[in-house]
Chains A and B, each alone.
Chain A
Amino acid sequence: MAIPQTTGRKNKSRRHAHRKQKHVWNDKHWRWVPTADGDWRVQGYVFHHKHKPAKHHFRGPGPKPVRRLAAAAALNPDPRPAGAYQGPFGHDQAVRLLNRAGFGPSLGQADPLASLGLVGAVQSLTRPSGAAILSGPAPVDDNGKPLAPADSWGHDHLWWLDRMVRSNQPLVERMALVFHDWFATSKRGVSKQQQMIDQSNLFRAAWGGSFLDLFKAVAIDPAMLQWLNGAENEKWAPNENFGREMMELFSLGADRGAYTEDDVREQARALTGWRNDWSNELGAHNFRFEPGWHDTGSKSVFGRSGNWGWEDACRLCVEHPLHPSFFVDKLWSYFVPTPAPEPLRASLIDTYVGSGWQIRPVLETILMSPALYEGPPMVKPPVVQLAGMLRAVGRYIDTTAWVWLCEPAGQVLFLPPNVAGWDDSRWLDTSRMRARWNIVDYVLDGISVDAWRRPYSTTETAEEALARALGSWGSPGLREEHRAELLEFARRAEKQVSANWQKGPYRAMRQNALLQLIGISPDLILQ
């Protein structure tokens, strides 16, 4: 009897020698799983560690989550504002909200959120209280060592990915990602990774307040001052880089007749005066405004003259009549793939202007809009899909592979392709799709089954196999035609069994193939 000892896994480890697994440390972990009566119970499962875990490492399950039906009992009447989505708000809608406003549900998270009703659910995301709590094991590299996000290449990416996976304030992380894309700054132009992390913390703190405050904070953020040469902009030789992008990309938009080339030059003059020092040890540091380097003459911007400074430059943009529509359309586009319909768009603009350029009320209206729940799906950015998959399977950051795997997928955090951010219309092509496939394969490392290590069921039916695979992914909803195709696959796979010894091993491979197919299905790529 010839048992094939070689699977694709062996080939793979040859190609990626660092993935070679000589030892696997298995130990029992615990997690909370939802029960039928709305409560939670502890479930044990075997976790395969790629590296020898510390003796007292976290094995779960952590504090018990809030009882789901108790939360439902306190259900508020869910009065919805006029113009908001009026349809049912159940599991599927909660998942969609979590996908767009966060990184998808973790195990059992969707139902409790649904029980809060539309308004309650949205506000539970947009009005978090206190500091974010990161629950679960802290992120480590492949050797089980803590990350060095400020120092090690790629650890900044992992540091943020970990927050996306573990934070109990997912919308804060998602909005930080929105503004990272909006004010796209790349570490290629910044001397220290810490400055990039600091900028993302700025987004975490200011995402929901006044856009003018955020804009001003970004204008003098050390990472931005380096990236768009704000600290090289002096009265004797103005550098127009930030002055142009602040209008074209950050607040007004190109080709709308909002500003002229003269406005660009005058804005650059208004922004002069910021400087920094440089040392090999600290990189660019000591960012400061030096009045002597600032152009104190009168500048004319958008037809308004005055001795404008950097704060005026930001304010003039935000006060520009074409800014509110730019802001609303841009923010909307992060959450809904189709243009905002009238009269909703007009009311969003009113909300924005009427609140003094507050971001949160506009965002809340968008997250309650019918288009978000009834409209077409959007392609998830690669990092959003990855964070969502890790949350769904209950995995944490335990490898640096996510850095080089995300690069071909088209998204490394802190490394947008250019100052315009990532191009949402180009998330998928053959190389990026391949990278997503390979990411799914990697996510399933330790989740997929190994028939050679432990005997697999020899009688599992196609239906049981699909149910098990879906369970491992946290029971995502699948389109009916995809479910049918997967069942069909499971039956075809079973037909391949021609010898008695194949019954278990082939079923194990079928299970792994189902796990892979679910991960790469349109259902998990779309949000």
Chain B
Amino acid sequence: MKNNCCDEYTRSQLLRSAAAEAGKGLPAIEVGMPEPAGTGLSRRRFLSRSAGLALAVYGASKIPLSAFETGIAQAAPTDKVLVSVFFEGGIDALSLLAPVGDPKYAQLRPKLAEAPGSGTSFSEDSRLQWHPAAAGLATLHDEGKVSSFPAIGYDHPDQSHFTSRHYYEIGQLEVGYRTGWLGRYIDAVGDDENPLQGLSMDGSLSPMIATAEKPVAAIDSVDGYDLWSAVSEPIQSEMFNSFARFGSLPSDSPGLAQVRHATSQTDKLRTELGGVGKASSPVEYPDTDFGHKLAGLAAYLAFGLPMRVVTIRAAGSYDTHAGQAPDLERNLRETCEGLLAFQRDLENRGLADRVLTEVWSEFGRRPEENGSEGTDHGAAGCAFVIGSKAKGEMVGEFPGLSKLDGDENLRVTSDFRAMYCSLLEQWLGYDAASIIPGASGFARPPLVA
């Protein structure tokens, strides 16, 4: 854990990692803190041969693992996929979309203010300017593929990472819920035996896709079914030819036959699944873990794996209480370059009309910087909906810095639950009323073109 994070953040991380040890109970860390959704789900691991992935499957404990194998193989590839990318820790929206044209900005941020002209200006509001490290996002925005929420949140914002994140994950302002908003969607429309329908590319399950009944999955590695080798082409093909030959020669004992059988099956699977998860992308991704995961995700989509919702954490952590500038620069760049490459990859593969990406964070940061060249927890943050099918129009205005809320934080001009309702109805084609409590009370910003 980086030392510039707040204590509460560290504790909530601890609680979450403990939550991954399902069934062991949670350590008591802070009274009243909500437990992560999906904490009670049973977790089992298996290698899905049909998908070439080592999966940790959550929920549906009564179904034998072999059924998932069949379920994945038989599930039809989905029409629409929603990818959720999480800026963990509360990203500084006032750096990402910096209000350099707001007279109060430089005053509140003597050390951290972005210099006017250092990044592309934001075409929908002349006061705002993209962080230079967010150039990838700016590029997509200029192409009309990004809907921006410059001040998203909810009434009476909670400044606890854990509570606020929990609200975003479950899609309402309650602490006792056990299912995520996308988990409830999967429960409603999903398959009994296809855990890939809700996939966390993070090793542990995102509470956002925690279901009550239907199976969902997490993967540690996107590498799929490959055999490592330092040997490259043209020798590699010859090597695998010989490996396959080891599998096809005659046997004179059951032990040898067993080895030969496993060898030939392994080579067969390697050939069949060679494309899955391998970064054989038509475009170049940044050489980072986040980029690698997105490259894998695009390959899964191209392979037709039956996914509906996918969650993934953005590169790095954004709880920048101290020394914000370099950390934010690095992590934001990794994330935005990855997102741009992902979009280009989808476009290249002809998948761009099937995928919409939602980017969010649990809150924004305090407009006034603190004494350690960092920022503390704030209220309104930012969110983005990215894709060829994104409407590309700003939702909610930038409220300005001259009038802040009672805690000296940025005022909220759009509600995250309204964004969820629109994504459900306009993208996933499902009535939000049964997924988001109080859905009828929210406007439906147009998010899909």
- CB < 8 Å: which of A9, A15, A448 contacts B292? A15
If the complex has contacts A496-B238, A506-B235, are A526 and B256 also in contact, measured as CB distance less than 8 A? Answer: yes
Q: Contact size class for A?
A: 35 or more
Evaluate contact between B235 and A493: CB separation under 8 angstroms.
yes
- CB < 8 Å: which of A8, A378, A430, A481 contacts B249? A481
Q: Contact size class for B?
A: 35 or more
Instruction: Give every chain B residue within 8 A of A7 (Cβ-Cβ).
Output: 230-232
Q: Which residues in chain A, 406-463, are within 8 Å of chain B measured between CB atoms?
A: 408, 428-434, 437-438, 441-442, 444, 448
Select the residue from A431, A438, A441 with max chain B CB neighbours within 10 A.
Answer: A431
* Chain B residue at smallest Cβ distance from A498: B234
Instruction: Give every chain B residue within 8 A of A6 (Cβ-Cβ).
Output: 232
If the complex has contacts A488-B242, A489-B238, are A4 and B232 also in contact, measured as CB distance less than 8 A? Answer: yes
Evaluate contact between A434 and B236: CB separation under 8 angstroms.
no
Evaluate contact between B47 and A431: CB separation under 8 angstroms.
yes
Interface string of B228-262 (1 = CB under 8 A from A): 11111011101101110110010011111011111
A382 to B270, CA, bound (A): 21
* Chain B residue at smallest Cβ distance from A517: B242
Evaluate contact between B54 and A408: CB separation under 8 angstroms.
yes
Q: Which residues in chain B, 177-232, are within 8 Å of chain A measured between CB atoms?
A: 221, 223, 225, 227-232
Evaluate contact between A377 and B235: CB separation under 8 angstroms.
no
Evaluate contact between A8 and B263: CB separation under 8 angstroms.
no
* Chain B residue at smallest Cβ distance from A510: B235
A493 to B262, CA, bound (A): 25
Q: Which residues in chain A, 487-516, are within 8 Å of chain B measured between CB atoms?
A: 488-489, 492-493, 496, 506, 509-510, 512-513, 516
If the complex has contacts A14-B292, A521-B246, are A496 and B234 also in contact, measured as CB distance less than 8 A? Answer: yes
Instruction: Give every chain A residue within 8 A of B265 (Cβ-Cβ).
Output: 429-430, 433
If the complex has contacts A15-B223, A489-B238, A513-B236, are A379 and B228 also in contact, measured as CB distance less than 8 A? Answer: no
Instruction: Give every chain A residue within 8 A of B253 (Cβ-Cβ).
Output: 376-377
Instruction: Give every chain B residue within 8 A of A133 (Cβ-Cβ).
Output: none
Evaluate contact between B228 and A433: CB separation under 8 angstroms.
no
Interface presence of B289 (CB below 8 A): yes
Interface presence of A485 (CB below 8 A): yes
Interface presence of B159 (CB below 8 A): no
Evaluate contact between A441 and B229: CB separation under 8 angstroms.
yes
**Interface set of A (CB-CB < 8 Å, partner B):** 4, 6-9, 11-12, 14-15, 17, 337, 376-379, 408, 428-434, 437-438, 441-442, 444, 448, 481-482, 485-486, 488-489, 492-493, 496, 506, 509-510, 512-513, 516-517, 520-522, 525-526
- 18 cross-chain CB contacts under 8 A: A8-B230, A8-B236, A15-B292, A337-B255, A377-B253, A429-B262, A430-B47, A432-B262, A434-B225, A485-B246, A489-B239, A493-B239, A496-B235, A496-B238, A509-B236, A512-B231, A513-B231, A517-B239
Given A15-B221, A430-B269, A509-B235, 14 other A-B contacts at CB below 8 A? A9-B230, A12-B228, A15-B223, A377-B256, A408-B47, A489-B239, A489-B241, A496-B234, A509-B231, A513-B236, A513-B242, A517-B239, A520-B263, A522-B259
